[in-house]
Chain A
Amino acid sequence: MPEQGGFVVELEQFSGPLDLLLHLIREDEVDITDLPISRIADQFLAVIADLGLNQAADYLEMAARLLRIKAQLLLPRRLGDDEWEDPRSELVRRLLEYQQIRELVDWLHRAAEKRADRFGRGFEQPAPDLPPPPLEIDLNDLLAAAERVIALIPEPVLHRVVPRPLDVEGATARITALLAEREEFAWTDVVGAKAGVVEVLSAFIALLELAKRGTCKLHQPEPFAPMVIRREPARAAA
């Protein structure tokens, strides 16, 4: 199957690294259960270099595995009193298993060829009238999936950027004028009786600033009572 481009040999000759290994073993007529790893590994590397297969990760992985087994054979590990671990055993097991599959492939191939020699009534090309793959979902799954999709749709976030409406400078000028005129005056004299939020805020910030600078003193006779603004004589004199 053309899973990915890059090499063509796999399509025609080998269906994977195990297939290639089996091919080499068969060519050499060696015992699969007593693999001459060193020789097979060298041949494997030579073939994948020759065939330009060295892009295929599956083949590279097998090459690495063969080299590791080759190295492990030099330093065998003891399992029991008289037993030594055979680092080839896992590979041999896989090869035998794969070989079994190849035998079944031959059998399936022959069966399919035999079947293909017999035409049924109203022959139809097998591909088009296939049932779609079964969908294993219930209503809740479907709704959940729809919700996930909808959640992915970004909601436009609108920011209205407005120039800062506070007019602290204006308020400061107004208060300074009042201070020059009178020694003491009320909050309502600054903002008027029906001030909006912006005017109140502007005036309040201006007052705090002036009080900080020492131009005036702020005084509140009782909680929530209107603020009284008094000129600071010392500074005014200075």
Chain B
Amino acid sequence: MSPLAQLLEAALFAASRPLSIEELATLDPEAGESGTRAALKELRAAWSGGDHGVELAEIGEGWQFLTLPEYAESIDRAQFALRPRRLSPAALETLAIIAYRQPVGRVEVDEIRGVDSEAVIEKLVERGLVEVASRGEGLGRPLLYGTTPQFLEILGLKGLEELPRLDELSVALRPPAPAEEPE
């Protein structure tokens, strides 16, 4: 491995959180972001290939070493590390709506879910998965919510573009016959 790849390896090992490309690039200003990116690829290649229990992953706008999924159960059983708490269906529904409609106000979330969502949104804000992104126009200038990098992190996504596109979903239970479609 190149000296820069080794330096990155040391930094990622030392850090307890994902490091962004901008942060990693400060390690060696001469290499710049493109040089850092190349070294990261080299490092990722060195850790992949079935020889290791960890791999270098790019998640939620950052890089970090993660254990391979096949060891999750053993690690969990031994309680060396704990799986994060699962999100409730209500929380996931709310997250899905906010992720696709952001920035979006509470009223719209309520309407789509058919239930009051204030408490759920509050919890998601507390967990750092959702934040106030802006304020809407209109009466009372309602708070509009959006997702955070933490949201991407807990889903293991690099960015929102990795979410499924709406036209990829099988929207209806049965595809509606176009002629009989309401409206």
Contact = CB atoms under 8 A, between A and B. Distances in A.
A18 interface: yes
A98 B113 contact: yes
Interface residues on A, range: 35 or more
Given A3-B118, A108-B99, 14 more contacts: A1-B90, A1-B119, A3-B119, A26-B173, A33-B172, A93-B182, A104-B99, A104-B100, A115-B154, A115-B155, A116-B84, A118-B68, A126-B127, A130-B150
Contacts of B91: 1
Contacts of A127: 85, 127
B67 to A, nearest CB: 5
A92 B182 contact: yes
Contact of A112 (B82, B155, B164, B177): B155
22 contacts: A31-B174, A32-B173, A33-B172, A58-B115, A88-B182, A97-B112, A103-B169, A103-B171, A104-B96, A108-B96, A112-B86, A115-B59, A116-B84, A116-B86, A118-B67, A119-B81, A121-B12, A121-B16, A123-B81, A124-B16, A126-B150, A130-B127
Interface string B155-180: 11100000110100111111011001
Contacts of B81: 119, 123
A62 B95 CA distance: 23
Contacts of B116: 3, 58
Contacts of B65: 120-121
B58 interface: no
B10 interface: no
Contacts of A104: 96, 99-100, 163-164, 169
Contact of B183 (A26, A93, A111, A120): A93
A120 B114 contact: no
A91 B125 CA distance: 30
Interface stretch (A131-139, A143-151, A162-170, A228-236): A131-139
B7 interface: no
Interface residues of B, number: 71
A4 B32 CA distance: 54
Contacts of B33: none
Contacts, number: 171
A93 B111 CA distance: 12
Interface string B82-125: 11111111111101110110000000000011111011100101
A116 B182 contact: no
A14 B100 CA distance: 22
A140 interface: no
A96 to B, nearest CB: 6
Interface string A65-103: 000000000000000000000101100111011111111
Contacts of B176: 31-33
B180 A33 contact: yes
Contact of B112 (A101, A108, A125): A101
Contacts of A126: 84-85, 127, 150, 154
A105 B92 contact: yes
